[in-house]
Amino acid sequence: MRRVLLPMLTGLAVAATALGAQAQEYPTRQITLIAPWPAGGAVDALCRAVAPHLSDRLGKSVVVENRPGAGSVIGTAAGAKAAPDGYTMVMAGSGSLAISATMYKKLPYDPVKDFVPLALGGRIPFVLVANPSLPVSSVAELVQYAKEHPGMLSFASGGPGSPHHLYGELLKSMTGIEMTHVPYKGSAPALTDVIAGHVPLLFSDTVPSLPQIREGKVRALGVSTAIRLPSAPDIPPIAETGVPGFDAAGWGMFAVPAGTPKEVVSKLQAQIVKLGMIPGGIASSEELERFIAAEIARWSKVVTQAGLAGTE
């Protein structure tokens, strides 16, 4: 027995030493950060803002790779299926981790089990914007217009199950108005069509929409969060302009595939923390997993009420 156990234990010790050395040396090559949305949106902008600073801290380049489609599910799935070695991260979001959990009959990943969350990248407020040709200037006027013109309104989104979509469904359920959903492959092309007048409304992330609002190409009706935006304090919360209690924000989560070595996870997490990427005091992977589970439960109610459960 001793003759059998000794080589086994020696092998395990050598393997553990090798893993420890590998983690200490990490990274030795380029790291890919998957952004599951097209270029030009808030998630893409956040990834591109973080990547160079993370590159400086890790000593190796961090390259952003856009993999849009299916309301960010395609890119998130690529992150889940990547080799668990720390060389692929993904900015998984509320759409792909929380909303899609109820919308999809079968996701190509488990939102909780297939990822190790590193840090919450921040809450992403959305602005309800309208083409200037729509004769409304507030959410209260929009609700009145919708009730006076049933079936006449439509709203764009970044894809089925995206935050842009669900916020429109939430607005419908809280006000009783009718609007037809028009999905796009990302918020950038959706905003382009709202500006062109092909679709009158969109819950848009702020990065692409604020410049268009300032130039008068679209009209801001309200912000999705209960508090005003520091960058646009003149835009009132929807909760203050006709829909009390409305409060919704997207979020992005830096994550790596499950099975990534703990030492690598700790190193990545530490460097992201130093960039100030953990708002709200959520500082551990375990807390982030509980946060994701709570968000799944919250948005499950909205998806179910909208009749969208299991539709994808």
**Residue ranges covered by each domain of the chain:** 29-124+250-305, 126-240
Which positions ≥6 away from 222 have C-beta within 8 Å?
127, 128, 138, 139, 235, 236, 237, 238, 240, 241, 242
Give CA–CA dist 134/112, Å, rounded: 42
Mean pLDDT of the chain: 88
Which tokens go with 91? 């900015």
Residues 6+ apart with CB under 8 A from 161: 71, 73, 95, 99, 100, 103, 104, 303, 308, 312
Confidence of residue 140 (pLDDT cuts 50, 70, 90): very high
Span 126-240 CATH architecture: 3-Layer(aba) Sandwich (3.40)
What's the distance, CA 187 to chain centroid?
A: 12
Give the integer Cα–Cα distance in Å for 127 and 238: 9
Please state the pTM of the whole predicted model: 0.72
Does residue 279 register a pLDDT over 90? no
pLDDT of residue 129: 98
Rg (CA), the chain: 22
Closest CA to 63 of 52, 76, 79, 73: 52
Q: Is the CATH number 3.40.190.150 carried by domain 29-124+250-305? A: yes
| Out of 22-26, 62-66, 276-280, least confident range | 276-280
Burial class of residue 34, CB neighbours in 10 A (0-12, 13-18, 19+): buried
* One fold for 29-124+250-305 and 126-240: yes
As a whole number, mean pLDDT of residues 242-264 equals 93
Is residue 3's pLDDT more than 60?
Answer: no
Residue 142 in tokens: 């929009």
What is the rounded CA–CA span in Å between residue 163 and residue 201?
14
